[in-house]
Amino acid sequence: MPYITGKRRKCFAEGIEHVVDEITGYEASCGDLNYIISTLAVRFLRARFKQIGYEELSRVRAVLQDAADEFKRQMLDPYENDKQMKNGDVYVEKEGT
């Protein structure tokens, strides 16, 4: 997780809230979210780097992968663990189940 300072977060808060308001104002799809993330990544590349080559593309891809990994760790894993506790493990047959 990119634990940026509160001051840095405030720099982005208004813009993020605007985007959130836009996508929650109607039935947004995962395609909408993909578009937002992809556009942000491309615009970051173009604004941050004078020349875009393999290294720059790879660095941004790594950031996107790190964000996906952190989302999984913070959001999906706890959900899956809760469901496993409630419904049982589907991969390991346990005695008495």
Distance CA 53, CA 56 (A): 6
What pLDDT does 96 receive? Answer: 59
Q: Is 25 or 16 the better-scoring residue by pLDDT?
A: 16
Q: Is 58 or 88 the better-scoring residue by pLDDT?
A: 58
Contact 88, 94 (CB under 8 A): yes
Q: Is 85 or 90 the better-scoring residue by pLDDT?
A: 85
Mean pLDDT computed over 23-45: 92
3-state secondary structure 23-83: HHCCCCCHHHHHHHHHHHHHHHHHHHCCCCCHHHHHHHHHHHHHHHHHHHHHHHHHHHHHH
pTM of this structure: 0.80
Distance CA 86, CA 90 (A): 12
SS3 state of residue 93: coil
Distance CA 17, CA 23 (A): 10
Q: Which tens digits make up the pLDDT trace of 70-80?
A: 999 999 999 99
Mean pLDDT computed over 17-21: 92
Whole-number mean pLDDT of the chain?
A: 91
Q: Residue 97 pLDDT more than 70?
A: no
Mean pLDDT computed over 67-92: 93
